[in-house]
Amino acid sequence: MKKSKILINLIILFFTLINSSISIENEIIFKINNEIITKIDVENEYRYLIALNKNLKNLNKNEILEISKKSIVKEKIKIIELSKNFKNPIIPEKYIELILQNIYNQIDIDNLNDFKGYLINKNVNYQDVIKKIEIEALWNELIVEKFSSRIKINKQEIRNRIIDNKDKTTKSYLMSEIIFEISNSSELTRKYEEIKKTIKEKGFDNAALTHSTSGTSNLGGKLGWINENSLNKKLREILSSIKENEFTDPITIPGGFMILNINKIKEIETFKNIDDEVEKIINLKKNSQLNQFSKMYFNKIKNNMQINEI
């Protein structure tokens, strides 16, 4: 009887220690309105970011954990807002496949099966990646619904510029961005120096991960190839004086500042189909304006939420 009692006490102690360990491991570190973010959420985000950003190897674990915290907080804010606007949303499978392909191509993986194997090796759940894609897809849909009527594009001006340059080669830039905000103008110099220091020591990609508030930050600020005809006159003038592997001074944009880095420059041949090029540039301009609305809207809802770090 005495041995049985000792055994029962040991079992109780064992499960108490396990529960204690689990609660410590999964401790709450953020509360956003009525939602929580745990230590495990941050660790999962940490592994996800490392899997998709090879340049993160240049940062130490604490730096990456801080980036992971910012990233998961941003995602949770979007989830809260999306829950107010969508009920049982369905994302087309083809759309998810297209985004997936873009993600694994950026880390030099050719097909979905290899990508799934890569995620297993990195201890990242494939369904978690799908969920993140769905969140971003719904967020983009929300922004389109709210702001598409406010997009302003001068189609005739675009057509005229293309016609004027139809016998000339134009430039296309492979670019990355850092978007940042400051509370007052006196902080601009200090913040810019801080960003430049990170770029010098750890590269532009890691500076974007550390400092950028843009949705591209998790991918090192990468924007892809952008034709100069899709840019406004001010940006064309700024970039014309920048060489490959150089970056701009801070450029004022709605709600903050932008730094652009040119990774590569190539010359584009004369356009064979003006209508196709006009539509391509219009789409680029639409996306650019929607991204600006997205940043402003996100900041607005973020400021209206209660975010507490525990």
- Burial (CB < 10 A; 0-12, 13-18, 19+), residue 305, is middle
Average pLDDT of the segment spanning 175-201: 91
pLDDT (average), residues 35-43: 92
Whether residues 131 and 66 fall in one domain: yes
pLDDT score for 23: 45
In this structure, the answer to whether residues 292 and 180 fall within a common structural domain is: yes
Q: Report the number of distinct structural domains present in the chain.
A: 2
In terms of domains, do 270 and 293 share one? Answer: yes
- d(CA 305, CA 80) in angstroms, rounded, equals 10
**What is the pLDDT, as a whole number, of residue 215?**
78
Location of structure tokens 């401790």: 27
Q: Distance between CA atoms of 207 and 211, rounded to whole angstroms?
A: 6
- Among 213-227, 233-247, 279-293, name the most confident range: 233-247
Q: What is the pLDDT of residue 18?
A: 46
Termini Cα distance of the chain: 46
pLDDT > 70: percent of the chain: 90
Do residues 191 and 247 both lie within one domain?
Answer: yes
Over the stretch 45-68, which tens digit does the pLDDT of each residue have? Answer: 999 999 988 777 778 889 899 999
Q: Is the pLDDT of residue 163 over 90?
A: no
- What does pLDDT average to over the chain? 86
- pLDDT, tens digit, for every residue of 133-159? 999 999 999 999 999 999 988 889 888
Residue keyed to tokens 């087309």: 92
The full length of the chain comes to: 310
Give the single-character DSSP code of 166. Answer: T
Identify whether the C-beta of residue 51 lies closer than 8 Å to the C-beta of residue 119: yes
Instruction: Mark residue 256 as left, alpha or beta (left: phi above 0; alpha: psi -120 to 50; beta: remaining).
Output: left
> What distance in Å separates the CA atoms of residue 57 and residue 50, rounded to the nearest whole number?
8
Q: Of 130, 149, 168, which residue is a domain's last? A: 149
Among 256, 176, 202, which residue's Cα sits nearest to residue 64? 202
How far is 283 from 23, CA to CA, in rounded Å?
A: 48
CATH of residue 179's domain is: 3.10.50.40
**What pLDDT sits at residue 24?**
44
pLDDT of residue 1: 52
Question: Using 50, 70 and 90 to split pLDDT, how confident is the model at 292?
Answer: confident
Give the percent of the chain with pLDDT over 90: 45
Do 290 and 166 reside in the same domain of the chain?
yes
Q: CA 214, CA 32: separation in Å to the nearest integer?
A: 20
- Using alpha carbons, list the distances in angstroms from residue 299 to 31, 101, 215, 240, 292: 17, 29, 12, 32, 11
Q: Which of 8-12, 33-37, 211-215, 273-277 has the lowest mean pLDDT?
A: 8-12
Please report which confidence band the pLDDT of residue 21 belongs to, taking 50, 70 and 90 as the band edges.
very low
Residue 228 pLDDT > 70, yes or no?
A: yes
Q: Which of 243, 245, 158, 143 lies closest to 200 in space, CA to CA?
A: 245
Q: What is the per-residue pLDDT for 147? A: 93
Q: Does a structural domain hold residue 1?
A: no
State residue 272's pLDDT score.
66
- Residue 198 in this model has a pLDDT that exceeds 90: yes
Pair (291, 247) in one structural domain: yes
Structure token digits, residue 26: 């999964």
Q: Are residues 120 and 171 in the same domain?
A: no
Note whether 137 and 239 are same-domain residues: no
Closest to 263 in 3D by CA, of 198, 169, 173: 173
263 or 7, greater pLDDT: 263
- Say yes or no: 161 and 281 in one domain: yes
Q: Which residue is listed with tokens 């369904």?
A: 127
Distance CA 298, CA 143 (A): 10
Q: Is the pLDDT of residue 26 over 80?
A: no
| Residue 206, in any domain of the structure | yes
126-149: buried (b, 16+ CB within 10 Å) or exposed (e) per residue? eeebeebbbbbbbbbebbeeebee
Domain carrying residue 185: 155-298
User: For residue 18, how many other CB atoms are within 10 A of its CB?
Assistant: 10
Model confidence, pTM: 0.77
User: Are 30 and 71 a contacting pair, CB within 8 Å?
Assistant: no
6 within some domain: no
